[in-house]
Amino acid sequence: MIRRSVYAVIVAAAGLLVLGDLAIANPALESAAGFVNRLLVVLAAAAALAGALALLVRHTGRLRQRIDSAGSVAVLVGMALVLVPGLVPGSSGAGAPAVRWVVDALMAPLIAAVFSLLFPLLLAAAQRGLRLRVRETALMLAAAAAAVILLLPVGGDAGTALVAAAGWVESVPVAAVFRGLLLGVAAIGALTAARILLGVDGVDE
């Protein structure tokens, strides 16, 4: 319980410091909040590196045990193709030509292939939704159809009117919905984190 209390104090202090920097114009507070933000970036990078190392160890072990060797080889080769060109001596990192080639020649087609599945999956989901919840699904499909119409590449006065309408929809109702979602998710996340850190949801094992 003491360990959890220490974590709760650290997290609360860091959060209040960053929030205070957003609300109060103070050079010392801004400097401290900047240090905390940089520290968080370093911690996130360390966590990503630890995750990559854990993935490497796991799939190397699976290769030794001959468990799903093809999948492990695919994961390791993919990691090598993305990491090695950016880590070799003399490389400029993410801006290196080899890294850009990997992204353009491998990752972009894979991402495009995944997104190409959205249309048939959307049709299947719409068919199932119309059977289960007609009103809600019809509203979602109408909104999707309106978005498609607003984004049609039409020229002339009609195209100008569609562009203006699309800009208004994006900046007013859609932006309001996303702000509401972000605020709701942030509030729920903060409440859940506070309950866990303070031990409200159970004792520490």
pLDDT, tens digit (0-9, with 9 covering 90-100), for 132-149:
888 888 888 888 888 888
Domain that holds residue 16: 1-67
pLDDT of residue 134: 87
pLDDT of residue 65: 85
Per the domain annotation, does 162 fall within a domain? yes
141 contacts: CB under 8 Å, gap ≥ 6: 126
Residue 204 clears pLDDT 50, i.e. is over it: no
Per the domain annotation, does 139 fall within a domain? no
Residue 165 clears pLDDT 50, i.e. is over it: yes
Per the domain annotation, does 205 fall within a domain? no
Helix/strand/coil for 88: coil
Please identify, among 18, 41, 67, the residue that sits at the C-terminal boundary of a domain: 67
What CA–CA distance (Å, rounded) separates 83 from 159? 44
What CA–CA distance (Å, rounded) separates 77 from 52? 13
Please identify, among 67, 87, 111, the residue that sits at the C-terminal boundary of a domain: 67
Place of tokens 């468990």: 67
CA atoms within 13 A on the CB side of 56: 10
What CA–CA distance (Å, rounded) separates 70 from 63? 9
Per the domain annotation, does 128 fall within a domain? no
Per the domain annotation, does 50 fall within a domain? yes
Per the domain annotation, does 190 fall within a domain? yes
pLDDT in tens, 62-118: 888 887 788 888 888 888 877 777 777 777 776 778 778 877 887 788 888 888 888
CB atoms within 10 A of CB 174: 14
pLDDT (average), residues 171-185: 86
Give, for 130, the enclosing helix (H) or strand (E).
helix 118-132
Per the domain annotation, does 161 fall within a domain? yes
Q: How far apart are the first and last CA of the chain?
A: 9
Please identify, among 67, 90, 123, the residue that sits at the C-terminal boundary of a domain: 67
Per the domain annotation, does 127 fall within a domain? no
152 contacts: CB under 8 Å, gap ≥ 6: 162
As for how many domains the chain has, the answer is: 2
